[in-house]
Amino acid sequence: MTEALAPSSLLLPMFSGAAMRAVVDDRARLQRMLDFAAALARAEAAVGVIPHEAVDPIVNAAKAENYDLAAIAAAALAVGNVHAPLVVALTAEVAKASADAAGFVHWGASSQDAIDTALVLELRAGIDALLADLDRAVAGFVTLAGRYRRTPTVARTGLQHALPMPFGLKVAGYAGALGRARERLKRLRREALIMQFGGDAGTLASLGERGFDVYERLAALLDLPLPDAPWHSHRDRLVEVAAALAILAGTCAKIARDVALLMQTEVAEAFEPAPAGNGATKPHQRQPVAAATVLACAAMAAPLAAAIMSAEAHEHERAAGAWQAEWTTFPALLLAVSGALAGVADIGERLEVDNERMRANFDVTNGLIMAEAVAATLVGKLGKSIADQVMEEAIQKTIAEKRHLRDILGEDERVTLMMNPGEIARLFEPLSYQGVAQTFIERLVASAQSRVPRR
């Protein structure tokens, strides 16, 4: 599935990670089905279901490079899946070395066993690729949180100035969310990615009383957890994986949206690194290239996960259509999520922050961003009734005269009788009103690094 997201190799690298493209490559998928066949032969020979002499010819033939992908794809049209023609081709390849061994290829298993287990192995490799980029992204934002934990920035609600906050808290929030995504994927890698093996109807009837022995050995050989029973028509675990992938993409989109907004000319507080030699005709612009790609990937990921969810209802013991819908959707989902995460990891490692612009943006509202902090102090000095009156008048005057709130208050005798100019000025220091933000930064960083947060 090398072109699951785009019809051209010119586009695919923009919207996926290189490691993930290798994971979902068609030949890699074929190899996973062949790995299942080889492990099955070993497991069955170990418990006496097939002769030991059949194992080496099957294992030696189970190499993806031995097979013509185009021929298998063409043959799949008639039978409805790629595994059936692969078994025919594998059997023919084994027969070159041993006609007797060829008779034991794929013994007692169904095509769904091979396809589902190959999918589980693909998802495991895909999660491993994502975990590597998650490590990069978390480390990048944790570093930024430490570097900018004392850098004041504007907290925005509804895209409007709200209160001051440390920029370190914003990026620590990114690290925390990505850390949760990482733990979620690690848990699903352990619990949801399990072997599929049940034969035609999930009973392993063709293996007789040795069925469960093969079942246990096959799981061990594939290094996959042993399920309670075959799960061929119960897709809840796969749906949970799809949901976790979509959640990760959504987290990446939130971060990318913030960065794109921070890069606006009117804001200009933080930037992706400027690409070198891109031939820009408008040098005054810093385009959110990575952020735009992240947002595009996340927009694709959500409906792909929804497709997996809508295909959860499998009829009886094998579905007609819902199962098949997973075959191209999961690789496409992995690619989209990898593209989103790769972009965010790059942003986390190389984000450029303009401290001076952040400080300057506080003055856009002429000090009104500190009105809540000032009011809280004045209540303690003047009482609530007088403080409310002072603040209402001062705010209206600040807006009407377009002067700084600090200067307006400095002209009010009710204030100056209680506070000197230095005390009034200190009310407008942004991080004098940050609550327990520093504690939250420490807790988010600890959580992102898989440590227990301190109180």
How far from each other are the two terminal CA atoms of the chain, in whole angstroms?
Answer: 48
**Helix, strand or coil, per DSSP, at residue 162:** strand
How far apart CA 270 and CA 261 sit, in angstroms, is 9
**Bridge partner list, 157:** 160
In the numeric block, which tokens belong to residue 132?
Answer: 């590597």
Closest to 218 in 3D by CA, of 41, 64, 32, 49:
41
Report the pLDDT value the prediction gives residue 452, as an integer from 0 to 100.
72
What distance in Å separates the CA atoms of residue 97 and residue 415, rounded to the nearest whole number?
A: 97
pTM beyond cutoff 0.85: yes
| Distance separating alpha carbons of residues 250 and 299, to the nearest angstrom | 8
Q: How many CB atoms lie within 10 A of CB 439?
A: 12
Query: How many residues are listed for the chain in this entry?
Result: 455
**Could you read off the pLDDT of 277-308 as tens digits, one per residue?**
554 545 556 789 999 999 999 999 999 999 99
Kindly tell me if the per-residue pLDDT of 256 is higher than 90. yes
For the cut 60, the answer to whether the pLDDT of residue 449 exceeds it is yes
DSSP state of 342: H
78 CB-contact burial (10 Å; exposed 0-12 / middle 13-18 / buried 19+)? exposed
Gap between the Cα atoms of 122 and 126, Å rounded: 6
CB neighbours (10 Å) of residue 375?
18
Count of H helices and E strands in the chain? 19, 4
Strand-pairing partners, residue 164, are: 154
**pLDDT (tens digit per residue) in 203-223:** 999 999 999 999 999 999 999
Q: How many CB atoms lie within 10 A of CB 330?
A: 25
The neighbouring-strand residues paired with 313 are: 234
- DSSP strand E in 227-351: where? 270-271
Closest listed residue to residue 223, CA positions, set 124, 105, 310, 343: 124
At 2 the pLDDT is 45
Please give the structure tokens belonging to residue 124: 């495991």
The model's confidence at residue 276, banded by pLDDT at 50, 70 and 90, is low
DSSP, residue by residue, 411-443? T-HHHHTT--HHHHHHTT-GGGS-TTHHHHHHH
Which residue type, as a one-letter code, is found at position 278?
Answer: N
85 pLDDT higher than 60: yes
Q: Bridge-partner residues for 155, per DSSP?
A: 163
For position 1, what pLDDT does the model report?
A: 42
**What span, in angstroms and rounded, lies between the C-alpha atoms of 357 and 263?**
11
**Whole-angstrom distance, CA of residue 338 vs CA of residue 8:** 18
| pLDDT confidence of residue 11 | 79
Coil/strand/helix, residue 362: helix
- For 108, phi then psi, to 5°, come to 75, 5
The mean pLDDT value of the chain amounts to: 94
Question: Identity (one letter) of the amino acid at 81?
Answer: N
Q: CA 235 to CA 194: how far, in whole Å?
A: 11
Query: Looking at residues 386-391, what average pLDDT do you find?
Result: 95
Let me know: does 332 contact 304? Beta carbons within 8 Å: yes
